[in-house]
Structures are given as structure tokens and as C-alpha cells.
Structure 1
Amino acid sequence: MTLFDNRNRTKSDETHRVYAAYELAHTLVDFGAAICFVIGSILFFYQDLQEAGTWLFLIGSLLFAAKPTLRLMREIKLLKMGRIADLAEREET
């Protein structure tokens, strides 16, 4: 198996649960980033709140940057889980 191979997520119940957990985290990060950008945009309408808006834009950007990191972490974990399962199968035979 290779990274980003769709078969990695369905090898077992455990890989399916790991995939689902990472997908949930990815979605929560997406919502967090979107909320930061929306609130930050609203704050930019008020001169006194522009600094807070800038901070929310920075936080939103960091959250968006975390998304590909989460996906890569998920894929590495699934790949490792698949290799361990393959080794276990070879040992049994």
C-alpha cells in the first residue's frame, strides 16, 4: 500500500475508526478556521477592533495550515497500520 491509497482506510474496523476520527478533526479545524475568518472580517468594520480581527485572521490561517498536516498524519498512521497487519498475516502463514 502507498500513501493516500483509498484501500488503506477500509482494511479493518480499526483503520476505518482511525480514518473517521481524523476526518472529524479535519472538519472541526475547517469550521474553526471559517469562524475565525468570518468574525475577523466583521471586526475589521470597526477601527477599534481591527487588531483583534488581525489575530483571528492569523489563527484562521494557522488552522487552514493544519488541515494538510492532519491528512498526512492520518495517511502515515493508516499506512503503518496496514504494514503491521501485513506482517502479522505473514507470520501466521
Structure 2
Amino acid sequence: MPLFRHENRQRSERSKRIYALFEIVYTCVDFLAAAAFLVGSFLFFSEDTQTAATWLFVVGSACFALKPTLRLVREIKLYSIGDEDDLAKRLQD
């Protein structure tokens, strides 16, 4: 079964738990990115805090880069669970 298919998420209780866990982590990364950019934006108004603001923008950018990485890792994990389930079914037959 290909990656990024809805069926992969619903295949078993284990896949549902993994999907939910990754969604929670993904949402936390979203909030962290938003907070970093928001605080960085306010800090950028003062010359004294522009270096800190720049670092917060870098952190926010890293969070945005992490998001597609999390999705790909999640999908590969869900895909591999499907292979294990298929193998177990074949062994039972």
C-alpha cells in the first residue's frame, strides 16, 4: 500500500495510536514555530534584542522544516506496520 493513504492510519489500533501521537507532536511543533516567530517579531522592534529575535526566527524555521519530516517518518512507520500485519496473516495461512 502506498504512502500517505488514509487506509494506513486506520489499519489497526496500533496504527491509530501512532497516527494520533504524531499528530500531537506535529501540533506542538506548529505552536512552537508560531510562538518563536511571534516573540521574535516583537523582539525585532528593539535593536538590543535583534540577535535574540534572529535566533527565534531560526528556531521557527527549523520547526517548519521539521513538519514535513515528521509526516514522512509517520507515513513510513504506518507503512511498515502494514507490512508486518500482511506478513503475520501470510504466516497464519
Q: Given the two structures, how large is their TM-score scaled by the length of structure 1? A: 0.99
How far residue 77 of structure 1 moved from its aligned partner, in angstroms, is: 0.2
Q: Deviations over 1:25-48 (max 9, x none)?
A: 000000000000000000011110
Aligned residue in 2 for 1:41: 41
Q: Given the two structures, how large is their TM-score scaled by the length of structure 2? A: 0.99
Q: Deviations over 1:62-87 (max 9, x none)?
A: 01100000000000000000010001
Aligned residue in 2 for 1:5: 5
Aligned residue in 2 for 1:81: 81
Aligned residue in 1 for 2:51: 51
How far residue 6 of structure 1 moved from its aligned partner, in angstroms, is: 0.6
Aligned residue in 1 for 2:64: 64
Tell me, in whole angstroms, the C-alpha distance in 1 between the residues paired with 2:23 and 2:89: 28
Query: Is the partner of 1:56 in helix, strand or coil?
Result: helix
Tell me, in whole angstroms, the C-alpha distance in 2 between the residues paired with 1:2 and 1:85: 15
Count of residue pairs brought into register by the alignment:
93
Tell me, in whole angstroms, the C-alpha distance in 1 between the residues paired with 2:42 and 2:51: 12
Runs (4+) off by over 4 Å: none
Look up the equivalent residue of 2:55 and give its one-letter code.
Answer: W
Show the 5 A alignment for 1:8-27.
8-27=8-27
Aligned residue in 2 for 1:32: 32
Tell me, in whole angstroms, the C-alpha distance in 2 between the residues paired with 1:4 and 1:44: 39
